Chains A and B, each alone.
Chain A
């Protein structure tokens, strides 16, 4: 460790302003601070600071994403061999390794492009590289269909980081969740490639699908009126869908990590689920077609609902900032997601749009909560005077 530290300390003067390798400053700083918590001590204000920092916060979120990632890899193999009709003969590791082989390039492209842009922006702004993209870079692969071409992921990531985040001033200033901006970008920019049933299954080289295998997601099926869901498979995550969103079980493990560590906001998760259930019940009551009549709770385990509720709606920067605002914000996400899903079959995945929409309205919700606070405080002073 000492050798590594010496390396960083020795190279540090060479990346300072005016030195030859100044253009590497943000990169040097990013890796140095990642490897070593710096020796900076408090210069003003409080003399002690909590051990928590943004690196640990984001690190925990990434950790919470790991179960969904692993399950997603396994599921890709499962779907692939399922499409081939070879599930009986393929071993567990065949499935997992196939998924790993398919997902790894996506993750590398996402982190490579995203972090590269972040480093450049940090360099120009003279800031430290912000840790926000550690999470976004993992979220982006997890919400993409497996057959998304790598170049598309690269462009979407670049778009998300630049126009979803950096133009607003970087992490902490953005209005929309950058990962969802990336997802929306591919969804609207490449509709031909991003819809249909083939995008969900990694079946390149498969000439003939096994009998009865369509590759359609449960939601696509439901839109067609086929609501006969294998609940257990949907819960475990053995259904077609984006890489990380299929396994409700893995997402629940992630949710537990976020809630126990206090990193993810349980109020938003709970209110989103409540909103979804509420809308589901409402649709059940007024059901005029099969999709509307689908048992309301099944919405929680298909598509991106669970993933969105746990990992995307809770993004602290783009969610409502006030406590009361968070309840309203989450509830409306749940309501809108199910509404868009069921009522507008052109957009089978309502979660993405619902969260982006509520990201947009979060400041408005906060505004009214803050006004309420101001009024309450004014009244209190008047009463005591």
Chain B
């Protein structure tokens, strides 16, 4: 019973620097790292010390409040360092690969023949569990819960996003095994959201899932938007989500009995000489991957992820846990004389207030400048255009600012995570930090209701 949803609201930021469909091997990284900061609300507790020897699949740390949730090393090697930030907050656990490729052994089995508990335990022990996210709130799924449904988006509509059909064209069996495995975790359905372009790709041929297509601009590929159309979340609903990449990791785990976290990412953005795809590993150090591939060495911003939701990293930073792309844009830390008054033929905008509107096909270089000062909410009706849900974003954000839990609940905080409102933040005239406010609201919901 496949449905087609046509979404009108949303917006595609036309950035320069999309990856060409060419795949190269990235040089083997000198180190890999897991970053607990990639998970909202996680309190990590180390299970290894620096200098310890680990195999791929050995735990590096775990969730303090759910100790069964492990985070495991993607490679075999030595724990090089535990990098901490302010107040000794753990930022990175770095492992230096020894090249021996030793693996911890897990059960090799057809997941459709296993029980729910067996699948769950295997995911927890292997360290793949954290890929499962729970809605509401967008936090790591609770192992004790059985979700109503599991929803997967098979495409990414964010600016310069990787083409998932290209990434996973050879992973059909792993994707299928992954679906068979997560299907065990719910009594409901596993939904897969496709874009209209994917009707013939690897995702369209998967079984044991209910597929729907979502047509329209970004955020059509956001799983939260898709959930709101097929199985809206209320107070007592729990939906789990995961990425196609996670399905592949899970599939490989059950097919081989080993943790194999090699993955393909897109190197994109206007500051990349030749944007294309690279084969690397989960949590890889970016230094060697980026060497010689950027137009400048300075005045650039390297983002693990996309320009809307990604994390700023340095050249010696690491690929984020969920990220499928690296984007590099100019930093833009310079003054512009009377910039706000210029006609703006070269200024891409979601508004109609610049002459660039007359060039509807052109792709633009955007930098990280704020292009204005932060103000109070002045305009109305601006955010709604970017959110294909029946939600009033400004009213919700205001209820968060006054910490009104009831209102937040009524106005739809259960249905949203940061990425769903990222476009509003991009387009905001008042430069309001929409994603930050939303996370504050979600955190107070968690605190209040558990």
Query: Does B369 make an interface contact (CB < 8 A)?
Result: yes
Query: Does A55 make an interface contact (CB < 8 A)?
Result: yes
Contact assessment for A1 and B394 in the assembled complex, using a CB-CB cutoff below 8 Å: no
30 example contacts (A-B, Cβ-Cβ < 8 A) are as follows: A1-B337, A36-B336, A37-B369, A37-B372, A38-B335, A39-B369, A41-B331, A41-B369, A42-B370, A48-B13, A48-B329, A49-B370, A50-B351, A52-B427, A53-B372, A54-B372, A54-B430, A55-B372, A56-B372, A57-B378, A128-B374, A170-B376, A171-B376, A172-B378, A317-B378, A321-B381, A373-B390, A377-B410, A377-B411, A378-B234
Query: Does B145 make an interface contact (CB < 8 A)?
Result: no
Given contacts A51-B349, A374-B411, contact A46 B308 (CB under 8 A): yes
Given contacts A37-B335, A47-B368, contact A52 B354 (CB under 8 A): yes
Q: Residues of A contacting B436 with CB < 8 Å?
A: 44-45
Contact assessment for A47 and B341 in the assembled complex, using a CB-CB cutoff below 8 Å: no
What is the interface of chain B, defined by CB distance below 8 A to chain A?
13, 15, 159, 231-237, 301, 303, 307-310, 312, 327, 329, 331-341, 344, 347-354, 366-381, 384, 390-392, 394-395, 410-412, 422, 425-431, 433-436
Whole-angstrom distance between the alpha carbons of A45 and B312 in the complex?
10
Contact assessment for B237 and A41 in the assembled complex, using a CB-CB cutoff below 8 Å: no
A82, chain B: closest CB distance, angstroms: 37
Whole-angstrom distance between the alpha carbons of A316 and B429 in the complex?
12
Q: Residues of A contacting B428 with CB < 8 Å?
A: 49-50
Contact assessment for B377 and A172 in the assembled complex, using a CB-CB cutoff below 8 Å: yes
Cβ-defined partner of B339 (8 Å) among A37, A50, A132: A37
12 other A-B residue contacts (CB within 8 Å) besides A47-B307, A59-B341:
A35-B338, A39-B332, A47-B303, A48-B329, A49-B425, A50-B426, A52-B349, A171-B376, A171-B378, A172-B376, A265-B381, A378-B410
Q: Residues of B contacting A132 with CB < 8 Å?
A: 378
Query: Does A60 make an interface contact (CB < 8 A)?
Result: yes
Contact assessment for A46 and B334 in the assembled complex, using a CB-CB cutoff below 8 Å: no
Cβ-defined partner of A48 (8 Å) among B352, B372, B426, B434: B426
Most buried by A among B303, B353, B391: B353
Q: Residues of B contacting A57 with CB < 8 Å?
A: 353, 378-379, 429
**Interface Cβ pair total, 8 Å cutoff:** 211
Give the contacts of A1-15 with B (CB-CB under 8 A).
1, 4-5
A294, chain B: closest CB distance, angstroms: 35
Q: How many residues of A contact B (CB 8 A)?
A: 61
Query: Does A344 make an interface contact (CB < 8 A)?
Result: no
Whole-angstrom distance between the alpha carbons of A46 and B434 in the complex?
9
A385, chain B: closest CB distance, angstroms: 6
Q: Residues of B contacting A50 with CB < 8 Å?
A: 349-351, 371, 426-429
Contact assessment for A171 and B375 in the assembled complex, using a CB-CB cutoff below 8 Å: yes
